[in-house]
Amino acid sequence: MAARTLIHVPPNPKRGEVVEIRATLGHPMETGYRPDAEGRLLPRDIVTAFSCSFEGQPVFSAMLHPAIAANPYLAFHWRAERSGTLLLRWEGDRGFVHEERVTVKVA
Amino acid sequence: MRPTLRAAALLLAGGTALAQSAGSDGRRSGFDDMSPALQALQRDDTQNPGQLWVREGEALWSQAPASGRACVACHASATLTGMAARFPRWDDKRQRPLTLAARIDQCRVQHQQAAPQGPDGAQVLALSAYLGARSRGEALRPDGTPALAPWAARGEALWTQRLGQLNLACTHCHDQRAGGKLGGATIPQGHATGYPAYRLEWQELGSLQRRLRNCITGVRADPWPPGADEWLALETYLARRAAGLRIETPAVRP
């Protein structure tokens, strides 16, 4: 199944307006420290990096670690200067990569 | 309360569809006892992690399976609002109560040739979250069919029956000590208004049956097998006990 995301970006901000971008990714964030029902250690499966860029320019990035809860939620601010596309990218263990694009039209 | 005041209170309650209001009968949703931060998390659809499942269910609803029909091919979109508020319903064919999750499973088996998943299966969970969210703000009005009365009565008996090594019945915490503390947590009245709910402890969405199982193992009793009549009886009783309270699916709980 494709990764599930909830992304909130105001679609039509005013030029120069500072908007809040909110992004949730559906992900178990398995720490690698938990045993399963048989007592075997569950292998680590977490998201290790998140980045958001606007037309190639970095907006925000973060490193994620095992103590972060499942379905990581990140919120950050961005000044909308012109219309374009925001690229949100999550990377994680076992080659996990997920990208979402959001088009923003500055009013 | 004077009649004018009561009318004003009702108006206020209607105006804030999501904010539960403690009714004049003193019943409170678990929402009312949560911290403001958790309440905000549930209220805001752009933060509520339960929306991940709601969106998935919305996509599944109109997606045709490998064999059979998509849900939307039979069920018109206009009929969905308020549908979840009427469960558990009486299933005439099987002569037993039918929860929303069981109804979804039935449809999946009959019309989509899928294997049954139970209330915590990935697709059943997503679809129940979607249908529950379509009824958000509606008052619970469970089926009043007389045939359900013995099930509700059995549920009520289970509610008051002592269980487990701790020798506690549901009623001891959720009726007699509701509002008090268990460790650091506030004991809720146990009205199931927001299921399937996102529990922070689970870090995922889960069914009411899973929540009930947590309480049963919490008093150190052996839980009944999955799909046992006891769960069904308890769910039937709980729906009647919470009748009139508003649906919050997907709720966030600590």
Where are the alpha helices (H) located in B113-205, listed in sequence order?
Answer: 122-134, 149-159, 170-174
- Tens of pLDDT, residue by residue over A3-12, are 899 999 998 9
Instruction: Please report the number of interchain residue pairs, chain A to chain B, with beta-carbon separation below 8 angstroms.
Output: 32
> pLDDT confidence of B22, banded at 50, 70, 90?
low
Q: Residue ranges per domain, chain B? A: 25-254
Structural domain for A48, as ranges: 5-104
Q: Residue B15 pLDDT more than 90?
A: no
**Cis geometry, peptide bond prior to residue B97 (ω within 30 degrees of 0):** no
Q: What is the CATH number of the domain that holds A85?
A: 2.60.40.10
Q: What pLDDT shows up at residue B9?
A: 42
List chain B residues with CB under 8 Å of A26. Answer: 49, 52
Q: Write down the pTM of the prediction.
A: 0.89
Give percent of chain B above pLDDT 70.
91
Quick: pLDDT tens for B106-134.
999 999 999 999 999 999 999 999 999 99
Higher pLDDT, B92 or B10: B92
Q: What is the mean pLDDT of residues A65-84?
A: 95
Number of domains, chain A: 1
DSSP letter string, B31-91: GGGS-HHHHHHHH-TTT-TTHHHHHHHHHHHH---SSS--HHHHS-GGG-TTTGGG-SEEE
Whether the CB of B55 is below 8 Å from some CB of chain A: the reply is: yes
The predicted structure's pLDDT at residue B68: 87
CB atoms B46 and A8 under 8 Å:
yes
Topology of B25-254 in CATH?
A: Cytochrome Bc1 Complex; Chain D, domain 2 (1.10.760)
A2 contacts on B by Cβ (under 8 Å): none
At residue B6 the predicted structure's pLDDT band, cuts being 50, 70 and 90, is very low
> Quick one: pLDDT band at residue A90, thresholds 50, 70, 90?
very high
